[in-house]
């Protein structure tokens, strides 16, 4: 048995000298040292040895096994080093070659305009408020002086989740949420997504962005509203921009108005974008209705305020001379790369 063990040692050493890759090395390990290997097979015959010889043979076998494992590990390190060296030679990098140009990401045009709008109002002392897009009927309608039988509640215009919950159709609910928690003076804007059951065309979408504005304090008048909005519009579009206020009706403001800017496509002559009128509506506004103030626990005899809501997409269209709102949502890189 000693001779068999010695012979296995010699065979392993001989095979290791001829091993040229890691696969051949693993085969040698399995052949001689594996569970069904030759050394294991020899050791299984130790039961037939006299009792006094077993410790000697066992010690010799363990010594040979340890020696062979060291030899195999050493050969493995040698072959691995050669493989790494060969790989490095194959994968030489020419540092003088020009690198690939990495394209830098850009802000979406709507995000860019939103940031500009925020900056303008922050410069005028406004704060930014945020609220839920899935809104209670109370905040979206009732607290804004819109009773259950008002046409604005028609399911053709509003997405209802159930009788008490809707996808907000405007950012105006933030007026109520802010006034409930904060007493005057209040000066905030509330940007966010809104949802309406509108047909998709060049200037309408069922999902769009709106920016609500609210100012409440003592002595606030319509002149403050007009001056604030004109300053905002001229800051965004330039001092030469033409602005028009038209009387209108909103249930939560009195008096109310809509604000138009001259059409950027036709210059006021009339086209499909402005529907032949020469003007494009960008926001609605008015003085906060006394009942809305009362609903929030603010005394309308002591305080007054104004509110406005503007559509971000229409502002971006005017700013970039874009005649179709749908371009913002198609994610066509040929369009987006222009900004």
Q: Which of 57, 90, 123 is where one domain is finished?
A: 90
The verdict on 154 and 21 lying in the same domain is no
pLDDT means per 10 residues in the chain (339 residues)? Answer: 73 74 78 71 67 71 75 81 84 82 88 95 96 95 90 78 93 95 95 91 88 96 96 88 90 93 76 80 93 95 96 87 90 90
Looking at the structure, do residues 70 and 192 belong to the same domain, yes or no?
no
- In sequence order, the 6+-apart residues with CB closer than 8 A to the CB of 225 are 215, 285, 286, 287, 306, 308
Closest CA to 224 of 215, 233, 235, 234: 215
What is the DSSP track for 80-131? Answer: HHHHHHHHHHHT---TTSPPPPPPPP---HHHHHHHHHHHHHHHTT-EE---
pLDDT at 215: 98
CB 175, CB 292: distance < 8 Å:
yes
The answer as to whether 97 is a domain residue is no
| Residue 157, pLDDT score | 83
Helix (H) or strand (E) holding 26: helix 22-33
Same domain, 311 and 213: yes
For residues 186 and 278, membership in a common domain is answered with: yes
Q: Are residues 240 and 273 in the same domain?
A: yes
- Find residue 209's DSSP bridge partners: 193
Instruction: Supply the CATH number for residue 117's domain.
Output: 3.30.930.10
pLDDT for residue 22: 80
Q: What b/e sequence results for 155-167 when a residue is b if at least 16 CB atoms lie within 10 Å of its CB, and e otherwise?
A: eeebeeeeeeebb
288, 216 Cβ separation under 8 angstroms: yes
Instruction: Say if residue 43 is in the same domain as residue 173.
Output: no
So what's the pLDDT on residue 126? 97
Output the pLDDT for position 240: 80
pLDDT, residue 199, reads 84
d(CA 339, CA 183): 41
Residue 102 lies in a domain: no
Per the structure, the complete domain to which residue 84 belongs is given by 2-90
Q: What is the pLDDT of residue 156?
A: 63
Using CA of residue 216, residue 221, residue 222, residue 228, what is the dihedral sign? negative
What radius of gyration do the chain's Cα atoms show? 40
221 and 118 housed in the same domain: yes
For the chain, what is the domain count? Answer: 2
Q: What is the dihedral of CA 161, 163, 169, 172, to 10 degrees?
A: -130
């Amino acid at each position: 048995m000693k001779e068999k063990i010695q012979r296995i040692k010699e065979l392993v050493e001989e095979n290791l000298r001829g091993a040229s890759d890691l696969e051949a090395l693993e085969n040698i390990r399995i052949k001689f040292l594996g569970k069904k290997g030759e050394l294991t097979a020899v050791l299984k015959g130790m039961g037939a040895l006299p009792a006094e010889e077993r410790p000697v043979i066992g010690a010799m076998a363990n010594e040979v096994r340890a020696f062979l494992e060291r030899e195999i590990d050493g050969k493995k390190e040698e072959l691995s080093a050669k493989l790494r060296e060969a790989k490095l030679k194959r994968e030489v990098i020419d540092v003088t070659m020009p690198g690939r140009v990495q394209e830098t990401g850009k802000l979406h045009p709507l995000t860019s305009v939103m940031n500009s709008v925020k900056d303008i109002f922050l410069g005028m002392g406004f704060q930014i408020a945020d609220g839920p897009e899935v809104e209670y009927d109370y905040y979206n309608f009732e607290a804004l002086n819109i009773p259950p039988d008002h046409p604005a509640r028609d399911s053709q215009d509003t997405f209802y989740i159930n009788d008490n919950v809707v996808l907000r159709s405007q950012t105006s609910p933030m007026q109520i949420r802010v006034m409930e928690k904060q007493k005057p003076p209040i000066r905030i804007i509330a940007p966010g997504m809104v949802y309406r059951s509108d047909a998709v065309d060049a200037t309408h979408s069922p999902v769009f962005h709106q920016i609500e504005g609210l100012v409440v304090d003592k002595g606030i008048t319509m002149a403050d509203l007009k001056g604030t909005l004109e300053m905002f519009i001229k800051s965004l579009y330039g001092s030469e921009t033409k602005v028009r206020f038209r009387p209108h009706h909103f249930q939560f403001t009195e008096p109310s108005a809509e604000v138009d800017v001259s059409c950027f496509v036709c210059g006021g002559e009339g086209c499909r974008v402005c529907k032949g009128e020469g003007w494009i509506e960008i926001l609605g506004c008015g003085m906060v209705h006394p009942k809305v103030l009362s609903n929030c626990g603010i005394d309308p005899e002591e305080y007054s305020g104004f509110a406005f809501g503007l559509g971000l997409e229409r502002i971006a269209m005017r700013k970039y001379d874009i005649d179709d709102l749908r371009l913002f949502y198609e994610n066509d890189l040929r369009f987006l790369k222009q900004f």
